[in-house]
Amino acid sequence: MSASDAPAAAFAAFRDPGLVRELIARIGRIVGERAVNLMEVCGTHTMSIGRYGFRSVMPRGVRLLSGPGCPVCVTSTQDIDRAVALARVPGVTVATFGDMMRVPGSRSSLRAEKAAGADVRVVYSPLDALDIAEREPGREVAFISVGFETTTPAVAATLLEAAERGLGNFSVLAANKMTPPALRAIADDPETRIDGFILPGHVSTITGLAPYRFLADEFGIPGVVTGFEPVDILEGIEQLALMIAQGAPEIRNAYRRGVSEEGNPTARALTDRVFEPVDARWRGLGELPRSGLRIREGFARLDAARRFDISEEPAREQPGCRCGDVLHGRIAPTGCPLFGRACTPEHPVGPCMVSSEGSCAAYHRYRD
């Protein structure tokens, strides 16, 4: 498909449809007859690509795949089960983000536990959970922490604030993840051929560019950090197409108004002060070395995993759900037999249909 073949309605929402058409046409000329697989590894990119209909107007041969860019989606069933078990501990208030409420575990969810009488509350930040603990000193308040490098510094700051206030009834159940190990796992998987990565804008404000350089140096795969507006994304795709065509992989920054070469050293130092790397299980990617974060020993009293005896049964995946394959780039959401049938945003079977940043939710919302 060329830019001129694309439906006119697909360009109606753009502020500068002429520039969008020109960029898509340029991408088509660069790619030519190649088959190119590009993966976006940010949930906000997934939503933007769906909202602007880019999958339908890309030149023939350019395939946009969603990756493990949604923190709720990559949270393992085991971690969901731990959160559910924590909600069942008498006297514990579980505080969590709204998306986490509906993610199915092996046998229950936080929403189901709340309906059964558990004290589970939705908060908008970890500091909200800390405030609950201060207002209700007679209850134990545990915050369920998920997220990538972007949100982890705020959790670290909250733990430091809890220590400063001397709150003895606050803790965090940490299931935070780091992005580069997931990219390494995908790049190193012979079943998944990725020719270029659309790298995450928000995460990169913290990490900078250095953690991605192994993609080009070790695997010969280019990557471009982009923003989230239509032209941002298309310019990033154009740069990827050029590097692929020239056989000259690099890690580039096409989002200089938001991302610097060095990222945010202060935020990284804050994370390092409170957390340490640990092997972690990802949905769809399995156990990845040093890809998760654990609360350091010096803050052990604020670690819900150490503080409470959380009994868990063996994890069990939802039958038929292929969310893991979607996150790995092996299939598109429409390749899952449950998509749009048994699994919808109203009745999600897997986390990719739960979160607003989930690949399946984006495909379903913008499927027309």
Is the pLDDT confidence value at 13 over 80? Answer: no
- The mean per-residue pLDDT over the stretch 189-212 comes to 96
Same domain, 56 and 84: no
Q: Which amino acid is at 310?
A: I
Copy the structure tokens of residue 163.
Answer: 């220590």
Tens-place pLDDT, residues 204-243: 999 999 999 999 999 999 999 999 999 999 999 999 999 9
Q: Do residues 21 and 3 lie in contact, with contact meaning Cβ atoms separated by under 8 Å?
A: yes
Same domain, 29 and 173: no
Same domain, 293 and 167: yes
pTM of the model: 0.92
The band of 2, judged by pLDDT with boundaries at 50, 70 and 90, is very low
Same domain, 238 and 292: no
Place of tokens 């249909």: 353
Is the pLDDT confidence value at 3 over 90? Answer: no
CATH of the domain at 226: 3.40.50.11750
Confidence (pLDDT) at 367: 80
Same domain, 169 and 241: no
Position 157 in a domain: yes
Confidence (pLDDT) at 310: 87
Tens-place pLDDT, residues 75-128: 999 999 999 999 999 999 999 999 999 999 999 999 999 999 999 999 999 999
**Which contiguous run of DSSP H or E holds residue 128?**
helix 126-135
SS3 at position 259? coil
Copy the structure tokens of residue 26.
Answer: 């340029």
Instruction: Please choose, from the candidates 316, 303, 311, 323, the residue with its C-alpha nearest in 3D space to the C-alpha of residue 364.
Output: 323
Instruction: Please choose, from the candidates 106, 10, 20, the residue with its C-alpha nearest in 3D space to the C-alpha of residue 56.
Output: 10
Confidence (pLDDT) at 14: 60
Place of tokens 């580039």: 252
The band of 313, judged by pLDDT with boundaries at 50, 70 and 90, is confident
Same domain, 236 and 330: no
Spatial distance between the Cα atoms of 142 and 304, rounded to a whole number of angstroms? 7
CATH of the domain at 147: 3.40.50.11740
Spatial distance between the Cα atoms of 74 and 177, rounded to a whole number of angstroms? 9
Same domain, 115 and 234: no
Is the pLDDT confidence value at 11 over 80? Answer: no
Same domain, 130 and 210: no
Q: Which residues pair with 38 in a beta bridge?
A: 64, 196
> Measured between alpha carbons, how far is residue 302 from residues 161, 169, 331 in Å?
11, 9, 40
Q: Which residues pair with 343 in a beta bridge?
A: 339
Provide the 8-state DSSP code for 318: P
Residue range of the domain that includes 359: 323-365
Same domain, 296 and 334: no
Is the pLDDT confidence value at 286 over 80? Answer: yes
Neighbours of 238 (CB within 10 A): 18
Copy the structure tokens of residue 60.
Answer: 């023939």
The band of 17, judged by pLDDT with boundaries at 50, 70 and 90, is confident
Same domain, 88 and 173: yes
